[in-house]
Structure 1
Amino acid sequence: MSGNIVNLVRENPKFAELIERRNKYSWTLAILMLVIYYGFILLVAFDKQLLAVKIGATVTLAFPIGLGVILAAIIITGLYVLRANKVYDPMTRAIVEDAR
């Protein structure tokens, strides 16, 4: 019986749509995060003077930029969770109901 349910789910056009939408959004967010992260790494490698600019008595520009990278990761994760809860979970429930 479980093999039959798996086949029903895989053959459901809603499942293919779910996979396509989820993959497109996931890859978009992953690429965005990679650009942010590697952008920071490239700054560290090639423009140390920019990162060494003091913005306070002891704080340099590298600190808020690094903090921004961390916050970007948190925000991107939150965006994915919101999309999963509002879009992907209802689609998954509908697919499971169709299979039953």
Structure 2
Amino acid sequence: MYDQNETKIIKDAKFIQMVKLRNRFAVGLSLIVLVVYFVFIGIATFQPQFLARSFEHSVITIGIPVAAFIILFSWLTTGIYIWMANQYFDRKKEQLKKEYQYE
């Protein structure tokens, strides 16, 4: 299934550490986004009058900018993951490939 270089890379302590860090980072960002979503849904479910309030002399309710913030926050966390993957995880992967002369 794997050739010798792939097996060596998979067993390398630096690779294992990078994979663990990447997984923790991804799960952490996912949990943050999920908490934000669930808080919003919880407020919309149990306190809808809070999100239905309008700003002074405006037809815009509080729920509209809150929902927009959640969408932008999700994009931001996705961007943070992409940046981290490009700046750190991909570089580590390339270092390991060079070290083991893979590809």
Identify the TM-score tier after normalising by the shorter chain.
over 0.9
* CA RMSD of superposed structures (Å): 1.1
More helix by share: 1
Structure 1 residue runs of 4+, over 2 Å off?
none
The residue type equivalent to 2:70 in the other structure is V
Q: What stretches of structure 1 of length at least 5 have no aligned partner?
A: none
Match of 1:71 in 2: 72
Alpha-carbon distance between aligned partners in 2 of 1:90 and 1:72, rounded to the nearest angstrom: 26
Q: Secondary structure at the match of 2:54?
A: coil
Q: TM-score, normalised by structure 1?
A: 0.93
Match of 2:3 in 1: 3
The residue type equivalent to 2:84 in the other structure is R
- C-alpha displacement of 1:58: 1.4
Match of 2:26 in 1: 26
Match of 1:62 in 2: 63
The percent identity for this pair of structures is: 24
Do residues 96 (structure 1) and 83 (structure 2) align? no
Do residues 12 (structure 1) and 12 (structure 2) align? yes
